[in-house]
Amino acid sequence: MKLLEVKNLEAGYNHLPVIHDISFDLEQGEFLAVCGPNGSGKSTLVKALQRLTPFTRGTVKLEGRNVFRLKTKEIAALLAYVPQVSDQVFDFTVEETVAMGRYVHQGHKLAGQLDKDRSEIEEAMRLTGVAALRQKNLSQLSGGERQRVLIARALAQETPVLLLDEPSSHLDINFQLQIYHLLQDLQIEKKKTILVAEHNLNLCIPYCHRLLFLKQGRIEAAGPPAEVINRKVIRRVFDLEVELRENTSSGLPEISFIHSAGRTVNKIEPGPETGAKN
Amino acid sequence: MSPRHRNWFFPVSLILLTLAGFLLSVKLGAVRMTWQEIRAGLFSGGQFKDILIHLRLPRAILAYLVGAALALSGAILQGYFRNPLADPFILGVSSGASLGAVLSLEIGLTWTVFGFSSQSWLALLTSLLLVGSVYLISENQSPGRSESLLLTGIAAGAMASALTSFFLFRRADAYEQAVFWLLGSFSLSGWKEVWLLLPYFLLTLIISQYFAPEMNLLALGDEVAQSLGCPVKTIRRLFLFLATLLASFSVAVAGIIGFVGLIVPHSVRLLIGPDHRRLFLFSALTGGMMLVFCDLLARTVFSPSEIPIGVITAALGAPFFIYLLNRHQRGRS
């Protein structure tokens, strides 16, 4: 049985649908990347699955249960959402932040934090490598560290599915890769089902099993990277001509920009052998 | 646990200062008395029994309660709006209350119900009415948007202030009574004010403490709070209701005392961190302590005449607040 089944999902703000007619499904342990132009509805889709958008129509079934009929707390036990890193007004510590992921599992409040909560918080911080930062305030961390703290909080939530909204935005290339390595570890070792909204195609291609291309709120193409990363699809989705090359380490296709004729760009001029190589 | 959890200095000094505040409040005043006479007056009834039991003690207790109530209300609203500059009067409670009080003077109401003047009642009613309509208007326009609530509150407050000024302008003789409302005072307070505020304050403190984990989630933003399992709408409504009623009751018994509800929660957050499970309780305790001292100053500095307490809270609170902000900034960099 599929873990997550999405049928005819429509969602948006102020009764204006941003995404329409979205249907797809995910098996346990699958890694899906949702890509598409700015404003195509990637973030809205990620939020809608958790019913975070003001209105949603259609069905999202998780383990056979209709998510939109569940209570807020029940949804939070099934799907964890990792927002984009943003500045917080109130500066909680790393440990306090991760501990908030346990809210959904804390039954009677006066009982306080149980051993189970403690060990889940520790485990989440260990997996994401933020345990050493536990007493630091979020404002003292780098963007990459903060993103990992938010992922730790989602792990503490102990859900089968992780939803991430552009986890690589605002990160340098080293941190971007680190985050995807972390996500892949979680997917393989913890059997987490992962759905990311991602704008950096070359970054997610080697790590996701399938890609979902959105355009103007509708699915334009979907499939494994080897099938959907081609010039025709990129042209349809982004209205952009690109060239594809093979990534030497993954063997998978990768996007390469075409810099249009007549534009001044930095180029290695073909010339004497001595030039750029040193 | 982080170092600030283990910090005992703050709670201990808070307890000591509060005790000192209460002792000085019963000791100092226009009538001088020795500690023996005070002990006798409080416990076995001496010549000063009336002054102590019916004037100084209830006044100190009420000052404590109002300070605690305003600070708790401020702590709730700062979390609610995710804005450390929010205060209990941000949605127009103060402007609504002063309009009610001035209106009562203007139409010459003189009745008393349950020992409270028509001014107190009208102040309470108009402030609740004002915030209620602010909430309904903004919910109607853009449900769940706290920015819209904030702006509507500011607009409505400005309108109520304009009306208040208009009535005051028309009647110069109402000035003295109006000052009581606009700058706050405990000069008329007794046990009945204490009994009005106490049960409501305790109830709010218990409920806020119970729902403090949810407020922590709300502080992260509505979407994130909901994604972590917090029933955002219900919790928001609950806290708004609690904070507004708390501020309205405080104003009805003691007038508008500014600044406590803004700086106390903010300062306490700088000292012990943003976790509302500690912030609510310690804001209330600190606010109470602070207002006991402010009232002490208000009635002793120019004794036998009194200064409005709002003057003291602002005059002392503002520099301390700037000092704290400065120290905090330096500690960070």
Tens digits of residue pLDDT in A187-232: 999 899 999 999 999 999 999 999 999 999 999 999 999 899 999 9
Is residue A211 domain-resident?
Answer: no
Quote the mean pLDDT of chain B: 85
Residue A203 covered by a domain: no
State which residue of chain A sits closest to B223, comparing Cα positions: A52
Q: Regarding predicted confidence, which is higher, A268 or B22?
A: B22
Q: Is residue A2 included in any domain, yes or no?
A: no
Q: Is the model's pLDDT at A274 over the cut of 60?
A: no
Q: How far apart are CA B41 and CA B28, in angstroms?
A: 14
What is the per-residue pLDDT for B163?
Answer: 86
Q: Given a cut of 60, is residue B6 above it in pLDDT?
A: no
**pLDDT for A43 beyond 50:** yes
Whole-number Å distance between alpha carbons of B86 and B295: 23
Kindly state whether A232 is in contact with chain B, defined as any CB-CB distance less than 8 angstroms: no
Q: What's residue A106's pLDDT?
A: 82
A1 CB within 8 Å of a chain B CB: no
Query: Is the pLDDT assigned to residue A9 strictly greater than 80?
Result: yes
| Cβ of residue A77 closer than 8 Å to a chain B Cβ | yes
More confident residue, A189 or A260: A189
Using a CB-CB cut-off of 8 Å, the residues of chain B touching A92 are 216, 219, 273-275
First to last CA, chain A: 56
Residue A271: the pLDDT is 64
% of chain B residues with pLDDT over 70: 92
d(CA B279, CA B275): 6
Domains in chain B, please, with CATH? 59-332 (1.10.3470.10)
Average pLDDT, chain A: 89
State how far the Cα of B59 lies from the Cα of B82, in Å rounded to an integer: 34
The partner residue sitting opposite A52, judged by closest CB among B226, B274, B275, is B226
Question: What tens digit of pLDDT does each residue of B206-226 get?
Answer: 999 999 999 999 999 999 999
A103 interaction partners in chain B (CB closer than 8 Å): 213, 217, 228-230
In this complex, do A76 and B229 lie within 8 Å of one another by their Cβ atoms?
yes
Quickly state the pLDDT bin for B2 (edges 50, 70, 90). Answer: very low
Stretch among B49-53, B132-136, B199-203 having the lowest mean pLDDT: B49-53
**By residue range, what is the domain housing residue A112?**
93-100+107-154
Q: Which stretches does DSSP call E strand in B99-252? A: 112-113, 116-117
Q: What is the pLDDT of residue A108?
A: 61
Q: How confident is the model at residue A273 (pLDDT cuts 50, 70, 90)?
A: low
- Judged by average pLDDT, the poorest of A62-76, B269-283, B304-318 is B304-318
Which range, A17-26, A170-179, B118-127, B240-249, has the best average confidence (pLDDT)?
Answer: A17-26
Q: B228 or B129: which carries more pLDDT confidence?
A: B228
Residue A169 has pLDDT above 60, yes or no: yes
Q: How far apart are CA B56 and CA B299, in angstroms?
A: 11
Please indicate, yes or no, if residue A144 is contained in any of the structural domains.
yes
| Model confidence pLDDT, tens digit, residues B12-52 | 999 999 999 999 998 887 777 888 888 887 787 777 888 88
Give residue-wise pLDDT tens across range A105-158: 886 665 667 788 899 999 999 999 999 999 999 999 998 899 999 999 999 999
| Count of structural domains within chain A | 1
What percent of chain A is modeled with pLDDT above 90? 66
Q: Tell me the longest C-alpha to C-alpha distance in chain A.
A: 77
- What are the distances in angstroms from CA B224 to CA A29, A47, B142, B228? 24, 10, 19, 6
Is A101 near chain B, with CB under 8 Å? Answer: yes
Residue B115 pLDDT grade (very low, low, confident, very high; cuts 50, 70, 90): low
3-state secondary structure chain A: CCCEEEEEEEEEECCEEEEEEEEEEECCCCEEEEECCCCCCHHHHHHHHCCCCCEEEEEEEECCEEHHHCCHHHHHCCEEEECCCCCCCCCCEHHHHHHHHHHHHCCCHHHCCCHHHHHHHHHHHHHHCCHHHCCCEHHHCCHHHHHHHHHHHHHHCCCCEEEEECCCCCCCHHHHHHHHHHHHHHHHHCCCEEEEECCCHHHHCCCCCEEEEEECCEEEEEECHHHHCCHHHHHHHHCCCEEEEECCCCCCEEEEECCCCCCCCCCCCCCCCCCCCC
- Residues on chain B touching A73 (C-beta within 8 angstroms): 229, 231
Residue A136 belongs to a domain: yes
In a domain, A22, yes or no: no
Instruction: Inform me whether the C-beta atom of residue A72 falls under 8 Å from chain B C-beta atoms.
Output: yes
Is B2 in Cβ contact with A95 (below 8 Å)? yes
Q: Using CA atoms, how far apart are residues A97 and A134, in angstroms rounded to an integer?
A: 9
Within a domain: residue A142?
yes
Q: Please give the pLDDT value at position B37.
A: 82
Q: Is the pLDDT of residue A39 over 70?
A: yes
Q: What is the DSSP letter of B31?
A: S
**Lowest-pLDDT choice from A259-273, B40-54, B307-321:** A259-273
Instruction: Grade residue B333 by pLDDT with cuts at 50, 70 and 90.
Output: very low
pLDDT for the residue numbered B47? 76
Residue A177 has pLDDT above 80, yes or no: yes
Reading phi first (left if > 0) and then psi (alpha if -120 to 50, else beta), residue B277 is in: alpha
* Range with the poorest average pLDDT among A220-229, B64-73, B101-110: B101-110
Would the pLDDT of A46 be above 70? yes
Residue A140 lies in a domain: yes
Determine whether A106 is exposed, middle or buried from the number of CB atoms within 10 Å of its CB (0-12, 13-18, 19+). Answer: middle
A163: tokens are 């939803």
pLDDT higher for B65 or B161? Answer: B65
pLDDT at A278 (0 to 100): 45
- Which whole number is the average pLDDT over B168-182? 72
Q: What is the predicted pLDDT for the residue at B137?
A: 87
